Amino acid sequence: MVSVEVRRSSISGSVTCPPSKSYTHRAIAIASLAIGESTVTNPLLARDTIATIDACKILGSDLKQNANVIKINGKNEFPAGDREINAENSGTTIRVATAMSALVQSGRTTLTGDESLRKRPMQPLLDALKQLGVDCGSLANGTPPVVVKGGGIKGGYAKIIGDVSSQFISALLISCIYAEKDVEIEVDSEQVSKPYIDATLATMQRFGVRIENNYYTNYHVRTQRYRPASFDVPNDFSSAAMMLAAGAIAGEITVKGLNFELPQADAKIVDILHDMGVSVKLDRSRGAVSVSAPEKLEGDTFNLNNTPDLLPVVSVLALKAKGNVTIKGVAHTRIKETDRITNIAREFKKLGAEIEEFEDGLSIKVSEKLKNARLNAYNDHRLFMAFCIASLLTDKCIVDGLESVDVSYPNFIDDFRKLGADIRKV
């Protein structure tokens, strides 16, 4: 495990964050199902998205990469044969590719991943696919590895829970347009992470497909075809949220190159920073957000049900708040790459924060100067970045898990250092 040392420092300047992981996944998967040549520009080339690229190649689409352009010749059904897909650490990859695997003409597709991914739930998606006529199952009690037999999606009606992951719905929507008959999807329970479904629908629309959506409770998926298209991946608000948090606690920063047209869940960070008393300047026409740190942030209560990836970011902001910061609605973050609620609570206690942990969130209060500590990111890319930013408020911290950042933000350390962070490998 590779570690970094971060010392108290102020940051300033501007940064352009990497392309969106969410949109890169979706554009590549959907282009791989569009007959004809599509072009995806400005893709994120990181561990998770490379897993999706590899999965689509293994299924049978033709993908060719040249610099920051990927040309894709897709198929609405894939050649017969057995195959194995390793989704590495990517929940989006394994869930979207599981549904796509039903479109193999015949043969078994086995999908697996790393140790963390093999603990993440798949049964709700598998049950929905079974209702739609797909022969599939888990080899490990509802988690990966999973096996999908080809032969197509029959269609009809499926009921699925919405309170575990929005990725199940996205996976069904992306592939079910090629079912033999129309598909009705009913969501049983409150849907989490709704903006990620919005991102799926927006990407599908760019490739010529529209889905009837009744307030995230019911979807009518007509049989139709994707048209090849050109898709420019927007820069990532999830990564931008990390850097904006750094500016909000330790200086001032401008994040450039952001796109406010396509829905991104973590654009919500702009409202959260404003609510916590941060000076925020928003320039939609230039795609820029600027923040500067006040002496103290305001405590508040935030429901992050639709923006679970902001849990680490808001937790970091809480370390500079003059009152309690309570985060609710994020029970589903317990089954992300790690149990993020428990792990944030455990590590921030080392810093001297007062933490109350409950099933769907945290309450964080800081009464005294933060302590120096060694923080374990549990091989979770978002925790690693968040812990590095939190360390700016201490005299010195060691953060373990540098190797995890290539999942979503391979240049994080370089960008962080350019802004003035005193960070080095140890």
pLDDT in tens, the chain (426 residues): 899 999 999 999 999 999 999 999 999 999 999 999 999 999 999 999 999 999 999 999 999 988 899 999 999 999 999 999 999 999 999 999 999 999 999 999 999 999 999 999 999 999 999 999 999 999 999 999 999 999 999 999 999 999 999 999 999 999 999 999 999 999 999 999 999 999 999 999 999 999 999 989 999 999 999 999 999 999 999 999 999 999 999 999 999 999 999 999 999 999 999 999 999 999 998 999 999 999 999 999 999 999 999 999 999 999 999 999 999 999 999 999 999 999 999 999 999 999 999 999 999 999 889 999 999 999 999 999 999 999 999 999 999 999 999 999 999 999 999 999 999 999
The verdict on 150 and 226 lying in the same domain is: yes
The verdict on 29 and 113 lying in the same domain is: yes
Active site residue 360: no
* Predicted pLDDT of residue 287: 94
Given 183, 212, 232, the domain boundary residue is 232
The verdict on 38 and 135 lying in the same domain is: yes
Given 210, 232, 254, the domain boundary residue is 232
The verdict on 147 and 189 lying in the same domain is: yes
Given 198, 232, 266, the domain boundary residue is 232
* Predicted pLDDT of residue 367: 87
* Predicted pLDDT of residue 368: 87
* Annotated catalytic residue within 300, 309, 380, 400: 309
* Predicted pLDDT of residue 295: 94
Expressed as residue numbers, the domain containing 286 is 3-18+235-425
The verdict on 173 and 281 lying in the same domain is: no
Q: pLDDT digits over 234-286, tens only? A: 999 999 999 999 999 999 999 999 999 999 999 999 999 999 999 999 999 89
* Predicted pLDDT of residue 1: 84
The verdict on 375 and 292 lying in the same domain is: yes
The verdict on 31 and 147 lying in the same domain is: yes
Three-state secondary structure readout of the chain: CCEEEEECCCECCEEECCECHHHHHHHHHHHCCCEEEEEEECCCCCHHHHHHHHHHHHHCCEEEEECCEEEEEECCCECCCCEEEECCCCHHHHHHHHHHHCCECCCEEEEECCCCHHHCCCHHHHHHHHHCCCCEEEEECCEEEEEEECCCCCCEEEEEECCCCCHHHHHHHHHHCCCCCCEEEEEECCCCCHHHHHHHHHHHHHCCCCCEECCCCEEEECCCCCCCCEEECCECHHHHHHHHHHHHHHEEEEEECCCCCCCCHHHHHHHHHHHCCCEEEEECCCCEEEEECCCCECCCEEECCCCHHHHHHHHHHHCCECCCEEEECCHHHHHCCCCHHHHHHHHHHHCCCEEEEECCEEEEECCCCCCCEEEECCCCHHHHHHHHHHHHHCCEEEEECHHHHHHCCCCHHHHHHHCCCEEEEC
Domain of 184, CATH number, reads: 3.65.10.10
The verdict on 13 and 51 lying in the same domain is: no
Q: pLDDT digits over 341-389, tens only? A: 999 999 999 999 999 999 999 999 998 899 999 999 999 999 999 999 9
Number of structural domains the chain divides into = 2
